[in-house]
Structure 1
Amino acid sequence: MSNENGNWCLIESDPGVFTELIHNMGVRDVQVEELYSLDSDTLRSMEPVFGLIFLFKWQGAALQSGAKQNAGQVVDNNDVFFAQQIIQNACATQAILSILLNRESEIELGETLTNFRSFASDLPPDMRGLALTNCDQIREVHNSFVRPESFLTDPDEPKRPAGEDDDLYHFISYVPVNGRLYELDGLRRGPVDHGKSADWLERVGEVIQQRMGEYKEGEIRFNLMAVIGDRRKKLTEQISGVDRDISVLMAELEKLRLEDSKDLGDVESRIAGLNSERAELEHLVDLENGKFARYQFDNALRKLNFIPFVYQLARAMAEKGVLEPAVDKAKEKARNQPRRQQRPAM
């Protein structure tokens, strides 16, 4: 990594990566989910929703600071924790922190982020960005997701700067603060105020749709994720509530049996319904646990360098004369498969 990037690596735009990154910073009971719809009902089904992270293709400073900006205005508001982005590559973590640090009353931030927020709260946005850049604990967690280099490069050789033909992507976040919706983009001088909204989940969909509408027709290289409460905790709380209801009905059922009442069937039916609901909730918990296990496995693979293994395998196959047929077979298989679109990464 070059010094011009302040030793912050590029990380993949993936809910599993972001969820583990948040947990490794010490934050509890928070996860990240990818969104495929901006419908407010979809967002409400995921509550609590702390904020949204939006990834889009950068169009250049002139276009990004154009007159539209989704009708929002850059404001100076000390109630909003906003940090300017000082270096490249940090925008993913900065977008996550923009949400977490503005919802601190609802989220258990942990020691690292609590101390950082306390230290940086009275600083101006540019100094907050500098403080973030130089926070060793946050940078180390971010860089734990560095992708292994395929080939060795000379660390002293300057990297080619990005040109007009390069696709550059940028993360920003949307978060409600004191009843107003804010867009937090570290490349701007302050938060963008999108106005007062009684239902920010309704308003944020309109803002993002308008933002995407500023691109050429057919542009689909966007990625949207929601920072939400841990679903397993919410589901476990719902299971506890169902258990309490079952206990009450079981006591009522026992009383009716002692009285030889004819209302047993109704109570038994309600208990059966609650047991069915409990089984469904337990199934959802199992699905969430399975998803987190996949996240952990996939993230472990991301941090491994398979190049030496692939090299030795290809070399052994070439020595046995089976490499070329295997390559031809793979090419044929690839031609017969539909093309898949990769998730944009930053």
Structure 2
Amino acid sequence: MSTAKQSRPKRKAAQAATESMIPEDIGPLLEELLSRMSQDERKDYGGWVELESEPGFFNAMLQELGAKDFKVQELYSLDAEILDFLPKPVHGLVFLFEYEGENEPSDGNRQDCPAHLWFANQTTANACATVALMNIIMNAQGAGLGAQLQDFKNSTVGLPPPYRGHFLDENDFVRSVHNSVARRIDLLAEDLTLDNKYEESLKRRKAQKKSSRSSRKKVNTETNYHYIAYVPVNGQVWELDGFQLKPLCLGPISGSWLETASTAIQERMKRNSEYSSYSLLAICQSPLYALSGELATSLACSHVLHELFSGNTTWIVADPFKTFSEERLAQLNLTPEGIKSLQLPASFVAKMSQPDFGSTEALSLAWDLRMEQDSLEAQYVAELGAVEEAVEMIRGRQRDYTPAIHEWVRALAEKGVLRELLQEANHN
């Protein structure tokens, strides 16, 4: 007579937890995993975490890098009307798409990187967002990079693209800014992901060697995303893909370079699956400097009018440098000396040169300038607020509350409160 083998009944999770809160062999590892991460540890981390296509993060990243002349803006369409609304000049476009690996077309029109083009290859995993960003701002004209990025550009300007990519990967400053939102657990998870991908690649290679039955390709269900850049340089439009050894010239600029880039992006979209998702970012000149310059010019005109007509009894407009004190101007990145040294616009000089231009006309013009200055200052403050909001968003994500929660839970466990709660949950 045979007896049926009885399986051991499964314990509830709460009951199991009350018997052994934390195994002794993983306790130290858990402590290290949940501890707060220092800036030195973040800097010493040699990998790159995967970034989401979030304009706010890229704006904050540019601020941290010292490249404050740039602004990243998300695009929802490539229509000409939408592109016209972008702050000018537009230094480049970043296109994020689902990368199809072996299905990606190989373009025979690629050429060796010319001396006037800064192009870096991607030499490490998950760095494509920063590589695309660098491939744009390093080619931007009339925009400051900040001291550290300028030094990096100067030191790599004569190198071929693979070496530029290698030294970008080795740049602690850029990498630490790229990883600035990551927590310790994120970095460990990234290391584990890369390790798993490596193990999977080894298994696939072994399987391919053992099996030669079918030539049909296995469908890759894993979704990988990739960033590439489009830039106007030296009268030509370029596609800069860090995965490609050479850049691709899309042709000379005729009209707006954005039209040429838009056509190339739309053609790439057609080649991908209809279910593929995309994201598009524009790297523009920050409006802050244009607004500051316009405000300075307007104040210079007001100053000249005040100097010429303030002695008139009908003149009731205040001195612009009393309305805009030095402290107020400093917040707008301006100084009285800099404003007074500006060359006056030709249109303003022409108005003042008219024979019938007197105190009445000057007073009307002064009020118009005053309204213009209020509007420009309001736009500047709003734009500056958007930049600070982006930086604060990243700082908020940098606040890792995991260590505090871990300490709180551990304190509950040491006092026996956590065990009581688990036992109570088990009884219920």
TM-score normalised according to structure 1 size: 0.76
Give the Cα–Cα distance (whole angstroms) in 1 for the partners of residues 169 and 233 of structure 2: 24
Q: SS at 2:377's partner residue?
A: helix
Question: What's the offset of the Cα at 1:267?
Answer: 4.1
Structure 1 residue runs of 5 or longer lacking an equivalent are: 325-346
Describe how 1:6-17 pairs up with structure 2 within 5 A.
Answer: 7-17=47-57
**Cα distance in 1, alignment partners of residues 234 and 61 from structure 2:** 27
Q: Which residue of 1 aligns with 2:269?
A: 212
Maintained 8 Å contact 2:230/2:237 = yes
Residue in structure 2 matching 1:186, options 220, 227, 242: 242
Confirm whether residue 290 of structure 1 aligns to residue 330 of structure 2. Answer: no
Residue equivalent to 2:143: 107
In the alignment, which residue of structure 2 is the partner of 1:228?
284
Verify the 8 A CA contact 2:113 2:161 in the aligned structure 1: no
Question: Which residue among 134, 141, 144 is the counterpart of 2:180?
Answer: 144
1:187: how far off?
A: 0.3
Query: Letter of the aligned partner of 1:302 in structure 2?
Result: R
Indicate conservation of the 8 Å contact 2:76/2:280, yes or no: yes
What is the aligned partner in structure 1 of residue 221 from structure 2?
A: 165
Instruction: Give the letter aligned to residue 280 of structure 1.
Output: S
| Partners of 2:87 and 2:286 within 8 A in 1 | no
Does structure 2 retain, via aligned residues, the 8 Å contact 1:150–1:307?
no
Q: In the alignment, is residue 203 of structure 1 matched against residue 260 of structure 2?
A: yes
* Residue 58 of structure 1 pairs with residue 99 of structure 2: yes
- Distance in structure 1 (CA, Å) of the matches to 2:289 and 2:145: 16
Identity %: 31
Contact between 1:174 and 1:181, CA under 8 Å: does it hold in 2?
yes
What's the offset of the Cα at 1:254? Answer: 5.2
1:247 aligns with 2:338: no
DSSP 3-state at the match of 1:74? coil
SS in 2 for 1:211: helix
Alignment equivalent of 1:280, drawn from 362, 365, 375: 375
Partner of 1:334: none
Q: Aligned match of 2:67 in 27, 33, 36?
A: 27
| Distance change in 2, residues 1:157/1:40 (3 Å) | closer
- Residue 173 of structure 1: CA displacement? 0.8
Q: Give the aligned residue type for 2:273.
A: K
Q: 1:37 to 1:153 in 2, by over 3 A?
A: closer
Aligned residue for 2:11?
none
Distance 1:249 1:37, change over 3 A: farther
Per-residue deviation, 1:123 = 2.4
Q: Deviation per CA, 1:103-147: give whole Å up to 9, x if none.
A: 2x5232233223322332332222222222222222222222324
The secondary structure found in structure 1 opposite 2:237 is strand
- Shift of residue 263 of structure 1? 6.1
Partner deviation per Cα, 1:196-233 (whole Å, 9 max, x = no partner): 013212322222223223333354x2222222222212
| Distance of aligned partners of 1:150 and 1:82 in 2 relative to their CA distance in 1, 3 Å threshold | closer
CA contact (8 A) 1:148 1:304 kept: no
Give the match for residue 329 of structure 1.
none
Q: How many residues align?
A: 310
Equivalent in the alignment of 2:22: none
Cα distance between partner residues in 1 of 2:186 and 2:119: 36
Amino acid at match of 2:133: I
Give SS of 2:226's match. Answer: strand
Gaps of 5+ in 2: 1-40, 201-218, 315-355
Residue pair 2:94, 2:133 contacting (<8 A) in 1 also:
yes
Distance 1:282 1:180, change over 3 A: same
Q: Deviations over 1:68-127 (max 9, x none)?
A: xxxx93111322221211111111111111012222x52322332233223323322222
Aligned to 1:342: none
